[in-house]
A and B are shown apart, each in its own frame.
Chain A
Amino acid sequence: MLKPDVKMELVAIVGSDRYVDQPEVLTCYSYDSFAEEAMPEAVIFPLTTEEVAEVMRIASREKIPVTARGAGTSVCGGPVPVQHGIVLCFSKMNKILSINTRDRHAVVQPGVVNLDLQKALAPHGFFFPPDPGSMNFSTIGGNVSHNAGGPRCLKYGVTVDYVLGMQVVLASGKVVRFGSKNIKDVTGYNFSALYCGSEGTLGLVTEIILRVVPRPETMQTLLVTFDSLDNTARAVSDIIGSGILPAAMELMDKMTINAIEDAVGIGLPREAEGTLLIEVDGTTEACSRERQQIVAKVQEHGAVTIEEACTEEDRNRLWTARRAAYGVFAKISPNIVSEDVTVPVSRVPEMIRKIVEITDRYGLKAGVLAHAGDGNMHPLVCTDRENHEEWQRVEKAFAEIFQAAADMEGTLSGEHGIGLAKAEYLPLVMDQDTRDFMALIKHAVDPDNILNPGKFV
């Protein structure tokens, strides 16, 4: 609990209905989708930048930790308040302030749910490309803070590629603005890019200018199966290596397909060792040509079946199934650990073999799915954290998986962020001087370390 006089000051800013500190309610802000949890001392729901600034002036004076939260659907522990203090929950600060398709931008508050932005853009024939698995419920603020990706980021790039500018409240309570509504802007440092993926450790993003793009004329979706996982992976690196650029290319192994099929039962190929969900988009002519090129490539790699999703309904079903993957693994066991190591796409076959070898060697029940086209792996391990012996094996296996990714010039996280989950592995991909530089920036912006403390920096 915060000191009574501090509480009084905070309540004076937002009113008693948007300041909560009963243990029952605090419990609900102790978690995201990651395993570790920690209780805040108060939760505040700001509605305006001014309110956030006033809260920060008090928090910095009192040196109270402040952790930003959107919908709490991060999978790395990003919004878990490990050093307690205040959780600033942006879920009610959720207005779409403007949509301007002539100049191709939208201005939003951080609590806007990704899907709600997509729905607002659709009538204009536009969309916002980042499509994390959580897009139906995660917020743009969270997407920005974790520099979220998603299947179609293979072609379109990730969140940072769509952030033109932002308004940020600093630890001190000062309000700064980066970028502009211009597609091109090299006026000073590109701070917006620095804040993308900073996981709330550098400031509180209260307004975001996003680049939006026209929806492609058409989309075509293929479901391809293979009788070996290795062939599946080779097909992926060959397709990308030959210059074809699908919008998305999702790889699922047998266990993943069966887990999804058990849960949703839409007729996915249970027998296949490897399955690719491939989507191309653009003009009808371009799509047809790309599809033919892809079909030829997968056949070279021994594709067993190639099916096309003919209707919008079929397409939606396949994507809904793919998006449910994280959740369906939770059905199998009490806990799941999902990581997102990423390697150059030419190393995808090698990395997948390595993941299978490591998880087999540690006797773990694991599935492999991947946004394979951009090398973004999602090894998923089913486990029970209460089983300490097994949990130790899980930790060892992931340590080896991270090491393997680093050895292949890969990286720890493609889209989930570091948060609590991978902080200890940073040295694998970042040397001491680079980490010191990161700490230097953090210290300059947040000298008292009150912004989401206890995380990766």
Chain B
Amino acid sequence: MSGTGNCGKCGICLSVCPVYAVLKEEQNSPRARVQLIKAYKNKKLPSSPLLKELIAKCLMCGSCAANCPSGVDHYSQFMEMRSQLIEKHGDRLEIRGLVYLLAKEQRLRLAMGAARMGQAVVPSAFQKKYRLGNIPVKNYPKLNKKPFRAEVPEEIPPISQERGTVLYFTGCGTNYIFGETGHAALKILSRLGYRVLIPQKQTCCSIPMLFHGGVEEARENIIANIECLQHENACAVLVDCPTCGSALRDEFPAMMRKYGLDDAVAEQIAAKTQDMTAFIADHLDQLTFRQEDAEPARVGYHLPCHLKNAAGSSEAILRQIPTIDYVQLANSGDCCGGGGTFFYEYPELSGQIAAAKIASIRESGAQIWLTDCPVCRINLAGQLAEEDGIAMMHPLSLLAGLLDELDKQVL
């Protein structure tokens, strides 16, 4: 992990930090966090609850690191510092609870089941009135009836000529909340001729834990994931969530080294990890879409930070689909303010960051707003009103829905 020594304090990061853009306070900027960490390491500043807050009031979007000309690894530094400060000053009870749940798939499954029952029994009057973070309770998505991975077999054969095998890392978003994304992915992959393996032993990618000091809690998850994703015959490890993608690509190898374990397999998996939409974009010519729609839907896109900062985007594929009216939003690459649990911890600030995005999607007249990241989706959908008539979904869901009917294709 690189040190803070090479920060030239140039300030480029100020121009890409969503939190600084709203607050305009140096103490809430990436440059300041790097300097604060340096002061703490040099024992010029003791640890304190305020120091913890200044380090934590960050979306962990990674835009500072992605744009730093001096190669400062803000992301890892912030993660490590968060962990140290949480150890000393604790974290909110509900955030600790989240780390506890994510550390064991069984706990998570039970909690999600209970939460689903809860959603069914909470009076709608309460749902209308109350907010969690900056989002009205009624705007939270309904949880999957059954976890996605419990609904589908571990191995799904292709329905056209077989091209190869891929592994699918579904992430918690698809598994517990947005099952339809997973079904859409399977529909497209099997149409493309891929045998899809969904290892049942996979579990949370651990990023939420790592952001909240759960370095030790994450260990078991990371090892389990690496074990079940090790598969020589698979040509790719596909993710539908950009944050899971960054975990598999960057954090798994780094954390294995941190734990003092062999990182070879983690590196192999990292090299094979690919964003699902990008994988499909590479094979787009092998899919046939309906050629006409009476009234093509107007579609906007929000590019999640963890995809943008890994040089990815689902935008290119959207431009190639004939039956949608794709409208490019000027701020489609701006952060939504969701940031894992940020929208829950700093609701007002998060709302301010989201406001410009909400205004521009409303102005665009789009009926469908796509984004790859489940947290961005929850956050943005949460800010929309029912009368906006804007549906949010993963790009895969839209693509799957636009595929030509198979029987017609065969004819």
Contact = CB atoms under 8 A, between A and B. Distances in A.
A28 B70 contact: no
Contacts of B14: 71, 73, 137
Given A72-B26, A91-B26, A334 B6 contact: yes
A109 to B, nearest CB: 12
A328 B9 contact: no
A327 interface: yes
B328 interface: no
Contacts of A138: 11
Nearest to A259: B69
A71 B23 CA distance: 12
Contact of B45 (A24, A91, A111, A336): A24
A324 interface: yes
Contact of B27 (A28, A94, A115): A28
A24 B5 contact: no
A139 B20 CA distance: 14
Given A92-B24, A263-B69, A330 B12 contact: no
A32 B35 CA distance: 11
Interface string A67-84: 000011100000000000
A327 B25 contact: no
A331 B24 contact: no
A136 B8 contact: no
Contacts of B10: 33, 73, 134, 326-327, 330
Contacts of A134: 10-11
B11 A71 contact: yes
Interface centre among A137, A324, A326, A333, by most chain B C-beta atoms within 10 angstroms, is A137
A31 B11 CA distance: 11
B48 A24 contact: yes
B24 A32 contact: no
B98 to A, nearest CB: 26
Interface in B18-60: 24-27, 29, 32, 35-36, 39, 44-45, 48, 50-51, 54
Interface string A84-127: 00000101101000000000000000010101000000000000
A23 B35 contact: no
Interface string A275-308: 0000000000000000000000000000000000
A336 B36 CA distance: 20
A334 B6 CA distance: 5
Nearest to A33: B9
Contacts of A329: 8
A32 B69 contact: no
Nearest to B50: A24
A128 interface: no
A324 B15 CA distance: 13
A27 B45 contact: yes
A331 B36 contact: no
A91 B24 contact: yes
Nearest to A72: B26
A327 B69 contact: yes
A194 interface: no
Nearest to A92: B24
Interface in A1-28: 20, 22-25, 27-28
A29 interface: yes
Interface in A139-177: none
A326 B8 contact: yes
Dominant SS among interface residues on chain B: loop
B153 interface: no
Contacts of B15: 113, 115, 136-137
A15 to B, nearest CB: 14
A336 B8 CA distance: 7
A334 B36 contact: no
Nearest to B38: A27
A45 interface: yes
A190 B229 CA distance: 71
Chain B, interface size category, equals 20 to 34
Contact of A27 (B9, B25, B35): B35
B7 interface: yes
B7 A330 contact: yes
B45 A331 contact: no
Contact of A24 (B11, B12, B51): B51
A33 B70 CA distance: 13
A327 B68 contact: yes
B71 interface: yes
Given A136-B15, A137-B14, A330 B69 contact: yes
A27 B4 CA distance: 15
Contacts of A24: 27, 36, 45, 48, 50-51, 54
Given A27-B39, A324-B69, A32 B32 contact: no
A22 B32 CA distance: 14
Interface string B49-81: 011001000000000000011110000000000
Nearest to B10: A327
A29 B70 CA distance: 21
A23 B58 CA distance: 20
A330 B9 CA distance: 9
A72 B11 CA distance: 8
Nearest to B9: A33
B282 to A, nearest CB: 22
A91 B6 contact: no
A44 to B, nearest CB: 12
Nearest to B32: A28
A457 to B, nearest CB: 25
Contacts of A115: 15
A350 to B, nearest CB: 29
A89 B27 CA distance: 12
Interface in B81-109: none
B70 A330 contact: yes
B337 to A, nearest CB: 19
B8 A25 contact: no
Instruction: State the 5 A-B residue pairs at the shortest beta-carbon distance, nearest first.
Output: A327-B69, A330-B8, A330-B70, A73-B11, A28-B32
20 contacts: A20-B27, A23-B45, A24-B45, A24-B51, A24-B54, A25-B54, A28-B35, A29-B26, A71-B11, A71-B14, A72-B26, A73-B10, A94-B24, A137-B12, A263-B71, A324-B12, A326-B8, A329-B8, A330-B6, A330-B7
Given A28-B26, A28-B27, A137-B11, 9 more contacts: A25-B27, A31-B9, A45-B25, A72-B11, A72-B26, A136-B12, A324-B69, A330-B6, A335-B8
Interface of A: 20, 22-25, 27-29, 31-33, 45, 71-73, 89, 91-92, 94, 111, 113, 115, 134, 136-138, 263-264, 324, 326-331, 333-336
